[in-house]
A and B are shown apart, each in its own frame.
Chain A
Amino acid sequence: MASEEIIQVIDAQKKFGNNTVLDKVSITCKKGGIYGIAGHNGSGKTVLFKCICGFLHLDQGEIRINGKCLKKDFDMIDNAGIIIEEPAFLRGWSGIKNLEFLYMIRNPKNRKHLNNMMEKVGLDPDSKKRVGQYSMGMRQRLAIAQAIMENQEILILDEPMNGLDKNGVADMRKLFLELRGEGKTILMASHNKEDIDILCDEVYEMDMGVMLKLYK
């Protein structure tokens, strides 16, 4: 297997009760690419992302991250920044405090770096505003900051542009293209055709848990 293949999903199947959510889904993501998954609500994109992260177990099939098999070799992806479903932070804390709390789980304290991250996504690091008072767009920006702050090689982003205004969308597109240039592998789900067209190197289309097409 080529070492540049970062994420491999092979014939993934997942059921909840009698409902098949993923039906023999296969995708491959190589280093330094942006991969899009398009599909309407309920097509299985979020479940697929959760399986790749390790939150859900596949009933059949395999997921490989950097050649290692999820569930056999490790139980959860540890080199990825993620945004899955709507962003959720500790509502009583400020944005920077939330980032600090998460950052310090694996890293020494570095307030300057986190300030830079907040500014990069268009948030004020000195703001004492609690996340509970943030707008949807602000929370989404904070989620992006959370995903990129540890310089992870993989980004798994579920509708990252949700709630962002026009300028915000333009800024984030620019950011993701920069990250691709740094060699990051980005797997993102989106409803927005424009985002898909501008950002993605390859696009998978999903419907009812089935991978329909691959566009390059």
Chain B
Amino acid sequence: MNKAAAKIVFIFCIFKQKFWSLKTGIIMFLLYFVMYVFLAPIKQFSIASDYKSSPWIFPFLITNMYFLFTFMTFVVYYFSNVPFMQKWGMYQMIRIGRMRWAFVQMISIFLSALGFIIIAILLSIVCLIPQIQLESGWGKVIYSLALTDASEQYMIPVDFRYEFIKSSTPIEAMVQTLLIGCLVITFLGMIMFAASICFNRLCAILTAMIFVVMPIVTENMAYFIRKLPWFSPISWLRVTRIGGKDFDWGIMPDSSFIIGALIIMIISLSIIILWRVRTVDFQWNSED
């Protein structure tokens, strides 16, 4: 196996060791439970209307402010072992050096983010079973919820915006959600890593929770400051509101700005992390 391939295998092993863990299992179990509660009324509507739902629910679900808050709290919990200085890491770092160790952690954060959002999407589909049918369009259930008052009648907490359904196909919406979701979670993980390595773990968690709470603040304050969502990266995960012209409580930036801004912020955080890793004292912790 050549050196490049060995490095890729090592990165993948680090990611696998972190992601396939009891902590992730607990998060996924709790996430499933929360999703089930949010999606149960949609299932009821589906049964009552005798139409099965399409699987493209997640973009609407993640737009719900309270679900988003819960989801991102799980993400913060997942990354709460920053700055990843568990004692077993000592033997790895001595073999790869500081900079490469930091690089591996950052790649692992990105892969974890991708894994997280993919599993979340799959769980949202599983929650709808057996009231689900695979179709390429939005389906009658989603159209009905967008165009009628069925959401109010069935007390569905998820908002189905017709403007979003009209402007995107399901595949486009899912790809956009996957991409922005992956970048937002990566951003959160990176900012936690940077904060923990520059200050301490408590600072990292506090910083992350400030970002996680910001969509709620944005929703309540945006009447006064319409462009507040531009400064809340977590709010950008509310994908059905992106580019919306009649968004009553604030104006969201468009996708290209969001993706560009997230990439720039992630790169900036990477530079900060790599700079700080050179000078920080590594104090190894026992396993959490």
Tally of A interface residues using CB under 8 Å: 27
CB A8 to nearest CB in B, in angstroms, measures 19
Looking at A50-58, A60-68, A166-174, A194-202, the stretch in contact with chain B turns out to be A50-58
Q: Chain A residues in contact with chain B, CB under 8 A?
A: 50, 53-57, 75-78, 80, 82, 84-86, 88-91, 101-102, 104-106, 108-109, 146
Alpha-carbon separation in the docked complex, A78 to B94 (Å)? 6
B23 at the binding interface (Cβ < 8 Å) = no
CB B279 to nearest CB in A, in angstroms, measures 7
Alpha-carbon separation in the docked complex, A101 to B95 (Å)? 11
Bitwise interface map of B from 83 to 102 toward A, beta carbon under 8 Å scored 1, else 0: 00011101111111111000
CB A16 to nearest CB in B, in angstroms, measures 9
Given the known inter-chain contacts A88-B87, A91-B287, please indicate yes or no for A102 contacting B97, CB distance below 8 A. Answer: no
Inter-chain contact A76/B94, CB cutoff 8 Å: yes
Other 20 A-B pairs with CB < 8 A, given A76-B98, A104-B6, A104-B10: A50-B282, A54-B98, A55-B93, A56-B281, A56-B282, A57-B281, A75-B97, A76-B93, A76-B94, A82-B90, A85-B284, A86-B87, A88-B88, A90-B88, A91-B287, A101-B13, A102-B91, A106-B95, A109-B1, A146-B91
Inter-chain contact B95/A108, CB cutoff 8 Å: no
Chain A interface, DSSP helix/strand/loop, else mixed: loop
Residues of B within 8 A of A57 (CB): 279, 281
Residues of A within 8 A of B279 (CB): 57
Inter-chain contact A88/B90, CB cutoff 8 Å: yes
Across the two chains, which residue of chain A brings its CB closest to B95?
Answer: A105
CB A146 to nearest CB in B, in angstroms, measures 6
Inter-chain contact B90/A102, CB cutoff 8 Å: no
Residues of A within 8 A of B9 (CB): 104
CB B277 to nearest CB in A, in angstroms, measures 9
B140 at the binding interface (Cβ < 8 Å) = no
Inter-chain contact A84/B90, CB cutoff 8 Å: yes
Alpha-carbon separation in the docked complex, A88 to B287 (Å)? 9
Across the two chains, which residue of chain B brings its CB closest to A78?
Answer: B97
Inter-chain contact A55/B95, CB cutoff 8 Å: no
